[in-house]
Amino acid sequence: MREISASDLAAWLAQPDAPVVLDVREPWEVAIASLPGSLHIPMREIPARFGELPPGRPVVCLCHHGMRSAQVGLFLERQQVAGVCNLTGGIDAWSRSVDPAVPTY
């Protein structure tokens, strides 16, 4: 699975072929800090709900620091989901290097 930095994700989100950002954190975490337009499916619900991902679009998995999202990314790859990436450093890296208006926790 490919890793992507927060700054590279920011640039990619500005392109017409932008990926789906899959936020796998818990609802309380998303309430604190989130990326607008991301799809929120908590990690524990992924096996039952990964079919909600839009077909044919790359997916960037996101969590707090990148560990849970890496596990979800590996699961998605095993399910034959193409174009899966993991956001290195998670929402924390996004807050620190792309958008300081997104709270850290």
pLDDT of residue 15: 96
* Inside any domain, residue 103: no
> Residue 60's Cα: distance from chain center in Å?
4
Cα–Cα distance, 86 to 100 (Å, whole number): 20
CATH code assigned at 17: 3.40.250.10
Q: Which of 63, 76, 85, 91 is catalytic?
A: 63
Domain that holds residue 86: 2-97
Whether 61 is a known active-site residue: answer: no
Instruction: With beta carbons less than 8 A apart as the criterion, state whether 105 and 17 touch.
Output: no
Q: What is the pTM of this model?
A: 0.96
* Inside any domain, residue 89: yes
* Inside any domain, residue 105: no
Give the model's confidence band at 64: pLDDT under 50 very low, under 70 low, under 90 confident, else very high: very high
Residue carrying structure tokens 């034959």: 80
- Count of domains forming the chain: 1
